Amino acid sequence: DSSVSKSSAPSGPVCILADSRCISSGVELMTTLRQRHAATVHVCSLDGSYFIVSNRMAVERHSQSDLAAMQNRKRLAERVNSLQGLFERVCLIVEKDRTKPGEVSRPFQRTRYYDSTVTALVRTGVRLLWSDGAEESAGLLADLARLEQRKGQGIAVPLEVKGQHSQQALQLFLSLPSVNYIHALSMSHNFRSIAQLINSSIEAIQKAGCMSQPRAEEIYRFLRYSCDSFLMNTSKNS
Amino acid sequence: METKAAAVLNAVPPYGHLIASEKWRNSSLIQSLKGGGVKILFEKELGVADFHLPNKSCILYVSECDIIAGNSYKRKLVRYRNSSSSFQELVLVENTRLSEQYFSAVQKFVVFDLGLTLLPVSGQTEASQLITQIVHGGGGRENPFRRRTSSQLLDPLILALVQQVPGVGRVKALALLQHFSSIQKLCNAAPAQLEPIVGHAAAQQIHNFFHKATAAGT
């Protein structure tokens, strides 16, 4: 892989962004990430409960029974679809179900339905990782972040924006199509003003947003797209 | 001879079929695959892979024995990764009570070092169920996870973005977009051009919002 030997230093702690909803379900995981793997974990508000481990990769945790439950598939498909729109790489950590203390651990019954879900995910290009529990998942997240950092894709911008105007700019960047939190954060730090983004070339957007060229092209076109006021008037209250 | 080998290495079985390496002929895995309605073609020169499936994927099977016996399976995995080009390369790994202590190391090697897809199974029975699913699952119903390229209407997104400007609600946003049809035109409008539409104070505020320095350079 030629992209392995790229700029950003391979050493140093890795940065991981976590949605605030990840806290309630993952206190143990967060603690392990911070203490054992010395990762910088920044909690923010994402559009789903997932982690961002690099400029291009999102990671979601699911329990094995989550994947096996038929009623979950539609929601899972929506989540995966939306993540694939926002990130070049999407990874699912499939975790063994936790047994409560005192409960007899039952071996997971693999069904045809489960197999078909797994197969469909693999075929869509979703990366799957298998974990025994929260501790192992923390290790996998840290490993993924480290690997991405080695490939020059690590999160390198400051994880916070200070001041009301910058916060508002971040929110505006987030409302651009196909822009995820780390793109918006990068643009907030790399553009001097919102106007500078709006008048930038595709190359400049790509560089400042740490994003792929097709994504930068999409933003560039969006900013210049001419609204049809007829459509606007008929569109229902949004 | 070499061309023949190459042809076999890239052979894709017809739908409902699977090409298995000769060494699997008498295995329980093959028996249960047949039970599941998969038609098997055997082949002596399949290379490193154990199975070729329709939909251009192939499988290397790493057994409990392989894992416990040590490192030779790693060499096989590397050869597997380097060999087939146009196939989606899957690795089935037996994760049993005996091999589970090595599983995380195997996973690291397969996924992180080689970039292959790993699917754990408890043994040949589970493997045959999974493989049957891959063989039969390709046709028929559509993959629910296939990304739909939604041709989203941009106008509502633009309207929503303009409403991110402080002091601009739906009414002002619509009025502004009727005069300045794109975000770029709106951003580059002088306060004097905005004033007839939204009034003096809002015109200043909108212009400032776009042009005021963010915390960049920090």
Same domain, B122 and B179: no
Query: Of the candidates B139, B173, B202, which is a domain's last residue?
Result: B139
Residue B139's pLDDT band, with cuts at 50, 70 and 90, is low
Q: Which of A53-62, B67-76, B121-130, B183-192 has the lowest mean pLDDT?
A: B67-76
Most confident of A95-99, B6-10, B52-56: B52-56
Same domain, B69 and B174: no
Same domain, B37 and B127: yes
Residues in chain B with CB shorter than 8 Å from the CB of A116 are 133, 137
pLDDT per position as a tens digit, A45-82: 999 999 999 999 999 999 999 898 888 888 999 999 99
Structural domain contains residue B153? no
Percent of chain B with pLDDT over 90: 69
Structural domain contains residue B158? no
Please give the Cα distance from B72 to A136 (Å, whole number).
26
Q: Into how many domains does chain B fold?
A: 2
What's the mean pLDDT in B189-209?
95
Range of the domain at B17: 2-139
Same domain, B91 and B21: yes
Structural domain contains residue B167? yes
- For residue B178, give how far its alpha carbon lies from the nearest alpha carbon of chain A (Å): 6
Same domain, B117 and B169: no
Q: Provide the pLDDT for residue B215.
A: 67
Same domain, B122 and B186: no
Q: Is the pLDDT of residue A7 over 70?
A: no
Structural domain contains residue B183? yes
Cα–Cα distances (Å) from B105 to A138, A237, B59, B99, B115, in that order, read 15, 53, 20, 11, 14
Judge: B133–A116 Cβ closer than 8 Å, yes or no: yes
Look at the block and give the residue holding tokens 């508002």. Answer: A168
Judge: A128–B161 Cβ closer than 8 Å, yes or no: no
Please provide the average confidence, as pLDDT, over all residues in chain A: 88
Q: Provide the pLDDT for residue A231.
A: 57
What is the CATH classification number for the domain harbouring B174? 1.10.150.20
What's the mean pLDDT in B74-87?
87
Same domain, B168 and B100: no
Best of B136, B183, B214, B218 to disrupt the A interface (most A CBs within 10 Å) is B214
Structural domain contains residue B147? no
Q: Which of A171-175, A231-235, B168-172 has the lowest mean pLDDT?
A: A231-235
Same domain, B134 and B182: no
Same domain, B132 and B203: no
Same domain, B47 and B98: yes
Same domain, B18 and B62: yes
Residue B8's pLDDT band, with cuts at 50, 70 and 90, is low
Q: Which of A86-100, A222-236, B198-212 has the lowest mean pLDDT?
A: A222-236
Structural domain contains residue B149? no
Q: Which residue has the higher pLDDT, A143 or A101?
A: A143
Structural domain contains residue B154? no
Percent of chain A with pLDDT over 90: 73
Q: Residue B104 in 3-state DSSP? A: helix
Structural domain contains residue B85? yes
Judge: B158–A233 Cβ closer than 8 Å, yes or no: no
What is the CATH classification number for the domain harbouring B67? 3.40.50.10130
Across the interface, of A126, A189, A222, the residue whose CB is closest to B145 is: A126
Residue A194's pLDDT band, with cuts at 50, 70 and 90, is very high
Same domain, B106 and B186: no
Residues in chain A with CB shorter than 8 Å from the CB of B104 are 132, 136, 139
Best of A232, A233, A236, A237 to disrupt the B interface (most B CBs within 10 Å) is A232
